[in-house]
Amino acid sequence: MPSTAGAALSATSIAFVEVDRSGIIREWNPAAERLFGWPRDEALGRMLADTLVPPQLRAAHAAAFARRLVNDEPWPGMRVKVPARHRDGSQLQVTLTISPLPDGFCAFLSDETDQDQAQQELQRSTTLVNAILEHTSAMISAKGLDGSYLFVNAEYERVFQVTAVDLVGHNDAEVLPEVVAEAGRRHDRQAVESGEAVTALEELPFGDEIRQYVVTRFPLTDPDGSVYGVCSIGIDDTDRRRAEAALSETERRFRATVNNVPGMLFQFRIDVDGARSFLFVSEGSREICGYEPHELVADADRIVNLVAEEDREAYEASVVESVITLHPWRWEGTLVLRTGERRWIHGVGRPFRLGDGSTVWDGMLLDRTRERCTALALEERRRDLDDLTRRLAVYRFTAIAGPTGGALLTASFGDPAPVLGAADPSGDLVEAFRAVLDPAGHDALAEAWATALGGDRSEVECELHGTAVRRLWLRLHPREVDGRRVVEGSCFDLARP
């Protein structure tokens, strides 16, 4: 080998291999050493097939090598891409240029392994991107600066019922109504001028409805940074916005309903460490206790501290019992507001246990002050009426049910003679009345007595014979004494002037 050629082969970065007609390596430059891992002194004299050809391809290599030996056709500079074998057994991809020599062959080889792997990675990435573009539910398109389409994905085609062939090279005014296309062009210009992504809500007509898309546009740039187009990604947001609007309306109606319910609705929580808090309070809190909902949510003790001193123990006991048993909470008592006004409150709540051990009640507080005052007034009037009745009655008595259901006299007030015709009635009191009662009133008397024994007030009007009282009004008032039903009776003379 001339010294000049030898120096060039030693300096080049391209591997050089020379073999004789029997396939034995007789030249091997430094680049070949670096590429295949064989030092020159070890490579020289080795069979090319055993050194560079992968085992599974050696038979094919031997056949091709033999054909070249017997083929008289010239084949200088033939370039092929083939797999090769490194000394460590790893496989390479090399491009080789083969030229014939009078007594053999020579080849220049370059490593294509990294480029081949890069090409595969590029192909894989391209396949992935295409799969995403074609299967995403977002509309994706790219347009040049003149507004003509460069690309549209499958969703874009589906939505507008067109094909990419129909769009590429055309502008959006040919597909969309002008008012919609103009809005898109305006946002395109904003993205190009700002050099940044622009997101806007755009409405697109579809038949009889308008659908809303959230569209993001961003500039497309060349490697030198110059902008050559705009890419847009549109996501159909119509159903989400409708659902959100419906949910908002439902929540508005719910809150309106809750806040118009008489009383205060609440959700109250007691943690395992005893900490108390309101999770929710309706606007009825203003009427119930004089606090705003957010004030009670911030500090639940505000309303607890309003419980009257005389009712505090009963309140705490009712809460503890509900926590332990998970039975519904019920309480009636007085709140003393900050103004000094006293409110009679009826509270109910249904508890449930959370996974962390805390207890939560869904409940209601009702203002029963008016009803309470009315009940107290009625009770007072009833007492006054009973007192007046006792003073107006010509005869009063207390009786209990006997073994056979009759009335046994236990106490007598006043003179029984005007009513019963006897100074000292004994035995069955009902029978004593029947003895002087007109027969037409016997059933009414029995019914009135049975009603009183059942626990309800009763009365009867009847005619008497042989007594000073000619027309009797008998009132029976039951009550419990030491666990036993006692009936108080009052007799009035309706014929008295």
Instruction: Report DSSP letters for 69-115, one per residue.
Output: HH--S--TTEEEEEEEE-TTS-EEEEEEEEEEETTEEEEEEEE-HHH
3.40.30.10, 3.30.450.20, 3.50.50.60, 3.90.45.10: CATH of 261-372? 3.30.450.20
Region for 140 from its dihedrals, namely left if φ exceeds 0, alpha if ψ lies in -120 to 50, beta otherwise: beta
What is the rounded average pLDDT of the residues 123-137? 71
Percent of the chain with pLDDT over 70: 88
Residue 169: pLDDT band (50, 70, 90) is: confident
pTM: 0.39
Question: CATH says 136-240 is which class?
Answer: alpha beta
**Nearest Cα to 51, choosing from 5, 109, 100?**
109
Q: Residues near 295 by Cβ (< 8 Å), separated by ≥ 6?
A: 285, 302
Quote the CA–CA distance of 170 and 166 in Å, as a whole number. Answer: 8
Cα distance from N-terminal residue to C-terminal residue, the chain = 161
Residue 5: pLDDT band (50, 70, 90) is: low
Start-end ranges of CATH 3.30.450.20 in the chain? 3-113, 136-240, 261-372, 393-493
> For residue 169, which phi and psi values (nearest 5 degrees)?
95, -10
CATH superfamily of 3-113: PAS domain (3.30.450.20)
* Ranges of H-type helices in 261-408: 285-289, 293-298, 301-304, 309-325, 369-392
Give me the count of residues in the chain: 497
Burial of 496 (0-12, 13-18, 19+ CB in 10 A): exposed
Supply the pLDDT for residue 424. 65
Residues 39-65: pLDDT tens digits? 999 989 999 888 888 888 888 777 777
CA atoms lying within 13 Å on the CB side of residue 261: 16
Residue 1: pLDDT band (50, 70, 90) is: very low
Q: What is the CA radius of gyration of the chain?
A: 53
CATH code, 393-493: 3.30.450.20
Tokens encoding 286 = 């203003």
Instruction: Kindly state the DSSP code that residue 46 receives in the 8-state scheme.
Output: S
Q: In DSSP terms, which residues pair with 265 in a beta bridge?
A: 364
Percent of the chain with pLDDT over 90: 20
**Nearest Cα to 344, choosing from 313, 367, 377?**
367
Strand, coil or helix: 362: strand
CA atoms lying within 13 Å on the CB side of residue 7: 3
334 contacts 307 by C-beta, under 8 angstroms: yes
Quote the CA–CA distance of 303 and 256 in Å, as a whole number. Answer: 23
